[in-house]
Structure 1
Amino acid sequence: MKNPTGSIIFLFLTVSFLIPHTNSKTLNHLKRGSSLSVEGDSDVITSPDNSFTCGFYSVGTNAFGFGIWFTQSSKTVVWMANRDKPVNGLGSSLSLRRDGAMVLTDVDGSMAWQTNTSSTDVDRAELLETGNLVLKNSSGNILWQSFDFPTDTLLPFQTFTKSMKLISGLRNGSFASGYFSLYFDNDNVLRLIYDGPEISSLYWPNPDLNVYQNGRTNYNSSRIAVLDDMGVFLSSDRLQFSASDMGFGVKRRLTMDYDGNLRLYSFNNLTGVWLVSWEALTQPCNVHGLCGRNGVCVYAPEPKCSCPPGYEVSDPSDWNQGCKPKFNLSCSNSRRMKFVELPYTDYYGFDLNYNPSISIQGCRKLCLDDCHCEAFSYRLTGQGVCYTKSALFNGYQSPSFPGKIYLKLPMNVEASGESEQTIYNSSKLVCRSTDAEVVVGFTSMYDMAGKRAKWVYLYTFASAIGAIEILILVTGWVFFRRHDLPATLEDGYRVISSQFRRFSYAELKKATKKFKEELGRGGSGAVYKGVLADERLVAVKRLGDAFQGEEEFWAEVSTIGKINHMNLVRMWGFCSEKRHRLLVYEYVVNSSLDKHLFSNNFLGWKERFKVAIGTAKALAYLHHECLEWVIHCDVKPENILLDGDFEPKVADFGLAKLSQRGGPDSEFSRIRGTKGYLAPEWAMNLPITAKVDVYSYGVVILEMVRGIRLSNWVVVDGEEAEAELTRFVRIVKRKNQCGEESWLEEIVDPRLGGQFSRNQAATLVEIGVSCIEEDRNKRPTMASVLQILVECEDDESKDYT
């Protein structure tokens, strides 16, 4: 007789295998008729390689979305079905119904989301290794896929077409649809747009340039783009870019971030952190709409939203609301107005009129006579250019902007700091943190019914025929690209080589003829002249042992590759093979400043002042505007190169450790710099800030005035030795205090023969002395230094002695 207990166990095991195991953590598909519960923590679908997980994701208090995320980085959601309509944390479920539709239902049975597959023979749902959630029939054909309906992220091999948009989150930590989008415009060009409550504004590519000036084309109406698994992005409008760590085997994602920037991220398996390997805009304040109506985006030094004089923030928790005026502006009192000047500030768009040649008084009158004018922008670019503004949106302040905005305010409105570069009510901009990982928080979304939520775009699902057509188009396009791979890669590398790319050690060894011609040598390594295969002249820096560390090297490369300014030496690429660490820079023909300043072949005054102002622009950009807050730490004449027009280009700016603003690593662990140009903070073991660069810059411009090394030591009265810099500053202060009229002639480089601008020389000396103050808090910022120099830039021929 058979054992009845054994029979029962056998029957139980048999039945258990027949029932769908929706609670299994290793589930890689969902059969028709099965469901996932929001209450089951293990009710998830995973990709075969476990790279991606799909299931319910907490988006707030008792609020859930159904989404897909990276398994190794569970905070990084790449797709969400119901981002604008979360469901309850109790009783909600995702079902693959027997009619073939995948449906997300809330606790009350209401439908939050569904696929358009109810009339098809769907057999199962699968999560592919690419992160694509698909519905398949019994033959394995894909009938629906999440790749056709992206939210804010594009994954490798997920084709982006004319019917799609990447829409940002509403704010940091929110999954609700925001105001920034990536999409193909009607002219076939891939663009970024701000579509807010009040205005819509295109901001990338540069709206001041035409399609071809931006390196795009609008002739190809296929409107299709793709990111491949090497980190190369190709678009039908000829937009091409690549990850700084281009290559196979790296998890990547292209995300439309909540701060309006489009970024390509690469996952670091060792640290578990997403690193930015490319981004559309390196200057966050170029994003439109960040600070709302009347608001101004400023670098201080990190991007912040601010309100100008006469205005106050509307809602400190939501900068989309901008700033509100403290006054009433009407046509009845339009003549009783004053104008408040904001240097280096502009508001993009909303021009009432444009006049390319007018005096500032004429521009002022145009605005004063028009009651609809709220401000006017005036810039001197060889001639006066005037824009009167009917509304104030997309405001930003930048040391590189060559103009000013003049706000129209009633006479009785107090606006402190009208003559200063001060912006009030400053608040941190909703910008990405210093950690490149986008942190997904738990801001409540479930009870958004009582809030004023904006649906920026309404999703429309493609019909079955449309989906099939798109699938055929995508398949054909991928097939074409794959079978034309050599030509595609050749074209891709040609583009990359003109921007930023990885070189092999063999390439650079050949380009430099086995490192034959040395251009210079410093603490970081030697520099050699080279010629690339495309005949470009380059300078190849071979880094020493101090830079053999992988972490330090990659920090440098990832930063320099994204920084671009006319007064910074451009980096073309890098090499990292075994123990070899090399950087490839543009070749600058006139060598470094010290070769011209401290030799018989000295520079004239006009060139010296050009170097002073150009170097200030470069440092102001590094300190206040660029992607990361970069401290150079070794500003000296040897690191200021001169091009064919003697325009300065600052070199070696990426060799110092980056300052993590406000973080635990804001201090440097070792001294970097050159004796004579080092700020006192290094010796006093104080935290290192951007003011160390200000100090070094002060020494450099005083050397340009004097024409000699001020870092040398001199003997005073036959006994006591002191630095030439100390002696120089003491003499300047004594002569200035005594009111000696000829003091400038006595301290300016005698080789100039008196051919210099007295006003510019006095300004440089005044700035230089203030920059080398021992108390760093008394030193100016590079932004304020630049402002002063720009104001006397046109004085070079007015007061030559």
Structure 2
Amino acid sequence: MASSNLRILQALFVSLLLFIPKVFSFDCSQPKGSSLSSLEANPSWLSPNEEFAIGFQKLPNDNENRFFLAIWFNKIPETTIVWFAHTEPAPQGSTLKLTDEGKLVLYDPQGNSLWERPSTGGAKSMCASMNDSGNFMLLDGDNNPIWETFNETTDTILPGQTLNMGSNLTARYSRESYDDGRFQLHLQPDGNLVLYTVTMPTGAVRGAYWATGTMTGNSKLVFNENGYMYVTDGTRWVYNLTKNDTGSSQDFYHMARIDYDGVFRQYHCPKSKNCGLKWSVVKRFPEDICSVILTEVGSGACGYNSICVETNGEPACLCPENYSYLNEFAKNQGCRPNFELPSCRLNGWESNLELVEFVEYSNTDWPLDDYDLQIGSGVDLQTCKQLCLDDCFCTVAIHNGNSCWKKKYPLSNGRREPNVNRTALVKVPKVNVTELYLVSQRQNNKDQSTTVLIVSILLGSSVFINIVMTLAICIAIYFSYHNKLLNISSVSSVASTNIRSYAYKELEQATGGFKQILGKGAFGTVYKGVLASHPKRFVAIKKLEKFEQEGEKEFKTEVSVIGQTHHKNLVRLLGYCDEGEHRLLVYEYMTNGSLASLLFGITRPDWNQRVQIAFGIARGLMYLHEECSTQIIHCDIKPQNILLDEFYTPRISDFGLAKLLVAEQTRVARTNIRGTVGYFAPEWFSRASITVKVDVYSFGVLLLEMICCKSSVAFGMGDQEEALMDWVYACYCKKKLDKLVENDEDARNDMKKLERLVMVAIWCIQEDASLRPSMKKVTQMLEGVVDVSVPPRPSIYCST
């Protein structure tokens, strides 16, 4: 009876609370004509109690000094954003103004509108109010709100704020990014408060991973001024999220937020201590995001191919060995393998069992990636390994002491915790894979050594022949020294690089008589070989077949340039041969051939792999343009000149067409056109000087090819009535970028990054070289460090 009376009293108390008017006054502090500028020292409007401010906040890690419109706690040392406008970043010099027409408008420095409220029709505001609850409102003549930030939710809810049915809070993309992320708190029309994963950028809701189960009509999520958060149906609490006293609003600041890791957390901090260095978590939903098992395959809290480990109430996102983060600054976005994905090709690493090993992780599982259901019972660990080893599609095997499961890419919802009684066996190539060298070559070297030994014995039997040999050696030494003096000016730069000089005979033997061709170019052919000094290491030997004036020039250029460059995205020069009429270059051998073979082959390479390759090429070009002691223009950037090593790291090759610039020189005169049809910059056909921007243009074309997996040359020669560049731009303008990546699910689920890459490419292929960004700027835009503005239409030159 007593408990029944208590429930009645609680219901009456709640009902009274619901009808108590808000104590916050609507202080009409900002009349029409009021404005803020990002150039001001403190560009903000304060609430009467000065606990909240609205104004400009600088974008984190932004080199362009841009801002976004936000509301934040004003008296806390650590800036805590509680609301922000969804709009393009505002350049320095932008203004926020309450116009004479009664609208709140964000203008850029040129006076263009970036954002405005109310957006269409409706009553006009007479003034604005930043009230003590953290709610910014536009008020009409009767002091009634016609628009308020409490009704335009972002990721945070404050005391005094209510979330109605159909409303939601959306997590940010990462700790530093204010773009929409992969998680959402949604109060459904049926009254259930649910945490969902979301597919971006479409916003399509996927699996639910936490819910209140409050299936009642007329539900609201209320966060009252005393720090209690609950779901109510209008007459009673139907679900209490806050179980304990969180402290009064006089003594504590309160807020609740769905964080970028998918956890909905309620926070508080004491006003007397200015919150110290960090907010304290009162409650989190769910308690352990890593232990949540979703009902469908998805990226989980840490992204694909990662392992989620709960650490101090937050998910720590780890990558398996031989994997790396997609984004070092947003580790919850997942991991990528540092090796070629299993393809079941005859020459794939997974097909050569001697090159495969397993890394074991205890208490670890990827629960939703089975492509082969539980494989019987009574399977021990070694048998489980062998089952995965024998299956070229198997990425990971999971063993629980009795049964075995095979997993496929991408690995979904990875987690590690003590109560997961499973061992993950991750299949990877051995770190230092040593390729088998040519057996026949070893035999040839052995036979030649035997011949030399026999000849030496015969020569040793004759005094006369010994005298002749001595004279011959003296003459050879003289001519060798004389030739070095003649060539000292042309090879001094080569000597300074510590690269080795080879005899022609050595390289002829290394290639087995120049038999195995890797590729051909305008000036020579590249052969595969094995050096006697490194019998377990393949090399690529370029033999110049035209060494007259042009070939000679190319040879000296490559030796002097590549020998002095050191970057992980450039092919390394190991040695050279300058003997008589023979000119050869010895390079590292790139296991996975050219980017052209990867892009335009039968199967489309993985989207994330293509993105990472594009980043690597951009970094390599940035090194050539800005970080070398001698600035280098490559002049022939194309897929055929991008090689891929054993881990598919891109390496820029073929500097034979490079133009060199001294430190003080930024332009060179155009002599003859250099490069390849389809990748030429417009200035090659005009009187304009040639700068590093010709490489930027070629990179833009290459980037479009990598996005679409289509050759620009083949595209232009096909049945299409437009060039690849024009087709891409048309799709971009019509907001139909999905056409560029048809049948590429990973790319279609990553539309924000796809759009960024397309915009960067369009900037790179501008006809006016001055409009093209530098490769440093290109690299920053690709990696998301710098935002990309809307590019102008490329020239009609693209079609010609």
TM-score where L is the length of structure 1: 0.43
Structure showing greater relative contact order (alpha-carbon pairs closer than 8 Å, 6 or more residues apart): 1
**Higher alpha-carbon Rg:** 2
TM-score where L is the length of structure 2: 0.43
